[in-house]
């Protein structure tokens, strides 16, 4: 990922443009591209048969017509659920996508911020560990330069860095920048810090820039103070709605 090739600010379509489309579906990601987003954000976890599926919650209850834990269901079963009608009946054909499907639609069109959900992380990092599968897939698709991998579980990002010296890594956090953050930025050679926008200050932005990392705050429930964030000097931010992408 070359920051010099990215627009500033970089608007990252959160779960696709989740205010306008059923989150984390191909319709949401295509809609984000059509609205002019350069990067999409998505959530990845593992299914019962250890496939990479794109969904935010631990269960399918909120965003599909099914029920139960994602970890208890196979990709085949998950892929048959209706992942669009809960949002609007016109999206009834939407399914929970695999990460492969999303990368295929994004290639050459969108950069991708892959958030690894902490529930998918295996402490012993087996051959099919989530970080190993993601890296293998991204390499197979020749998209290492197109992805930014983030997580609230920074240990999995450290494992990823050991596996690949160049892939872009983002540290997600819901607490202000502190000594621990700066230690981890160095440990994983972080590309960026992704804080909850509510904990951010201009001084923190300056400090993180001072160690060479970018700052991409994320929205909570779609609410983000776009102008306030830009005034602090952030490099971009996660947005749920295309209307939030208009300020340059
Ligand atoms: O990646 C930033 C943001 O997506 C983290 O929060 O809960 O929307 O995954 P959440
Ligand atoms: Ca996310």
Domain count of the chain? 1
Predicted confidence at residue 4, as pLDDT, reads 64
Residue 151 lies in a domain: yes
Percent of the chain with pLDDT over 90: 90
Q: Average pLDDT, whole number, for the chain?
A: 95
Domain range for residue 183?
Answer: 10-59+99-244
Q: How far is the CA of 172 from the centre of ligand 2 (A)?
A: 9
Predicted confidence at residue 3, as pLDDT, reads 61
As a residue count, the chain comes to 248
Residue 68 lies in a domain: no
- Of 129, 96, 102, the closest CA to residue 114 belongs to 102
CA–CA gap between residue 188 and residue 162 (Å, rounded):
8
Q: Is 218 in the pocket of ligand 1 (CB under 6 A)?
A: yes
Could you report the per-residue pLDDT of 90-136, keeping only the tens digit for each? 999 999 999 999 999 999 999 999 999 999 999 999 999 999 999 99
Predicted confidence at residue 245, as pLDDT, reads 82
CA–CA gap between residue 53 and residue 241 (Å, rounded):
23
Residue 122 lies in a domain: yes
CA–CA gap between residue 43 and residue 38 (Å, rounded):
17
Give, for 104, the enclosing helix (H) or strand (E). Answer: helix 99-106
CA–CA gap between residue 207 and residue 11 (Å, rounded):
22
Residue 160 lies in a domain: yes
- Of 160, 152, 103, the closest CA to residue 129 belongs to 160
Top mutation candidate among 10, 41, 217 for ligand 1, by most atoms within 8 Å of CB? 41
Q: Any idea what the CATH number is for the domain that residue 193 is in?
A: 3.20.20.190
CB 135 within 8 A of CB 103: no
pTM of the model: 0.97
Could you report the per-residue pLDDT of 195-238, keeping only the tens digit for each? 999 999 999 999 999 999 999 999 877 788 889 999 999 999 99
Give, for 113, the enclosing helix (H) or strand (E). Answer: strand 111-116
Residue 43 lies in a domain: yes
- Closest CA to ligand 1's atom 2: 218
Predicted confidence at residue 7, as pLDDT, reads 85
Residue 248 scores a pLDDT above 60: no
Residue 30 lies in a domain: yes
99: phi then psi, degrees, rounded to nearest 5: -65, -35
Predicted confidence at residue 92, as pLDDT, reads 98
- Of 45, 182, 69, 68, the closest CA to residue 122 belongs to 45
Q: Is 51 in the pocket of ligand 1 (CB under 6 A)?
A: no
Residue 5 lies in a domain: no
- Assign 2 a pLDDT band (cuts: 50, 70, 90): low
Residue 180 lies in a domain: yes
């Amino acid at each position: 990922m070359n920051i010099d090739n990215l627009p500033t600010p970089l608007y990252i379509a959160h779960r696709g443009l989740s205010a306008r489309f059923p989150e984390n579906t191909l319709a949401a990601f295509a809609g984000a591209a059509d609205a002019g987003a350069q990067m999409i954000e998505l959530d990845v976890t593992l299914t019962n048969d250890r496939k990479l599926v794109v969904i935010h919650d631990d269960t399918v209850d909120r965003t599909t017509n099914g029920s139960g834990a994602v970890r208890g269901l196979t990709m085949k079963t998950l892929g048959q659920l209706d992942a669009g009608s809960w949002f609007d009946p016109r999206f009834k054909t939407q399914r929970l996508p695999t990460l492969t499907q999303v990368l295929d639609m994004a290639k050459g069109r969108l950069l991708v911020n892959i958030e690894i959900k902490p529930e998918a992380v295996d402490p012993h990092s087996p051959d099919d560990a989530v970080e190993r599968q993601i890296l293998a897939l991204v390499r197979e698709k020749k998209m290492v330069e197109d992805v930014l991998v983030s997580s609230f579980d920074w240990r999995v990002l450290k494992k990823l860095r050991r596996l690949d010296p160049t892939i872009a890594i983002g540290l997600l956090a819901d607490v202000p920048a502190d000594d621990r953050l700066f230690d981890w930025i160095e440990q994983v050679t972080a590309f960026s810090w992704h804080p909850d926008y509510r904990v951010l200050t201009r001084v923190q932005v300056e400090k993180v820039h001072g160690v060479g990392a970018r700052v991409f705050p994320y929205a909570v429930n779609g609410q983000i103070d776009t102008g306030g964030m830009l005034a602090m000097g952030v490099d971009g931010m996660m947005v749920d709605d295309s209307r939030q992408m208009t300020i340059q």
